[in-house]
Amino acid sequence: MRSVRVSAVPVLALAGALLAAALTSCASATPTAIDVAQSPGAPGPGFQTRAAELASGWLGSPSQQTWESGYVPLEDTTRLPSGAFHSGADKAAYEAGQFHVNAPLPYGPGKQTVRFDHGTTATLPALGAGQALRAGSLGHCPTSSCPTWLTVTGVRAATERVRTSQGEATVPAWAFVIQGYQGEFVFAAVKPQTLPEPVDPARLNGYQGARLVSVSADGRTLTLGAVTGCGKQAPSGLVYETKDVVVVGATDKPAPMSPGTVCPADAVMARVQVHLGDVLDGRTVINVGTGQPEAAVG
């Protein structure tokens, strides 16, 4: 069976990305599912229908090709030195891309090569030092004013380690010295690839997307993150399996509330589990809400 590598990104509390792990053995070819009944007259497919469409549409898709063969970072590729930033003004200047450059900025080659730990490579359009320095900037001040500028006093070619959809990789980078800071600011020198947007952002009825948090040691249990909060029933995990894909989600149903109850705006990320009919074995995990692949932590 074709192996799909799944890798990792950090968990961001309550609202961030939660990601990857690769395990062993062979997956069952028989689809299994837990369905959620649609409310009367509500548009959009039920979980099983939506999951089946996503599973069948994944194989051979541009998303699959990019995820399995491309350079898709699963974490921020900028590395800040310890102690950054000294002030809110410095942080605002950084986010706005306000740099005084007192050192030559090399452009570098037109293409750079990412080297994945499992042995393959990807050669992609490169970012020159000046491009990399400002690649993540907002292009404007994030506050009412940005009186401070950061001064670049040196730059060198470097590499960094990045978690990607193909696992760990060594990525070309530029390392900058900024006046007043110990350590270097490191920026990737390669343009990342992105997954195509989902073709059908279907309205979900009675269920929601779920993020992959972790995979059990035996590869048969997935821990997921799903949104809950005031006015919602505690979610339960949902899963649909094929020999190549596992689609995950969670229930999303209202809970009875007393008249006049006021709910806080904050949502809560709850953890739920689903149990697979067979070990994960490198099958791609897809979020039923986004139609995009997921990777787990650890």
Counted residue by residue, the chain has a size of 298
Full residue range of the structural domain in which residue 257 is found: 32-70+196-294
Same-domain check for residues 138 and 204: no
Same-domain check for residues 183 and 202: no
Which stretches of the chain score pLDDT less than 50? Answer: 1-42
Residue 4 lies in a domain: no
Pick from 116, 130, 106, 103: nearest CA to 187:
130
Of the three residues 146, 170, 188, the one that is the final residue of a domain is: 188
Residue 174 lies in a domain: yes
What total number of domains does the chain contain?
2
Same-domain check for residues 173 and 201: no
Same-domain check for residues 64 and 135: no
How much is the pLDDT for 14? 31
Pick from 284, 23, 21, 67: nearest CA to 165:
67
Which CATH number goes with the domain that contains 107? Answer: 2.40.128
Same-domain check for residues 104 and 181: yes
Residue 45 lies in a domain: yes
Pick from 294, 102, 127, 115: nearest CA to 211:
294
Of the three residues 188, 216, 237, the one that is the final residue of a domain is: 188
How much is the pLDDT for 199? 58
Residue 20 lies in a domain: no
Distance CA 248, CA 271 (A): 13
How much is the pLDDT for 259? 84
Of the three residues 154, 188, 222, the one that is the final residue of a domain is: 188
pTM (2 d.p.): 0.76
Same-domain check for residues 173 and 136: yes
Same-domain check for residues 183 and 238: no
Same-domain check for residues 103 and 163: yes
Residue 24 lies in a domain: no
How much is the pLDDT for 43? 53
In order of 83, 107, 146, 285, the CA distances from 94 in angstroms are 14, 21, 10, 36
How much is the pLDDT for 230? 85
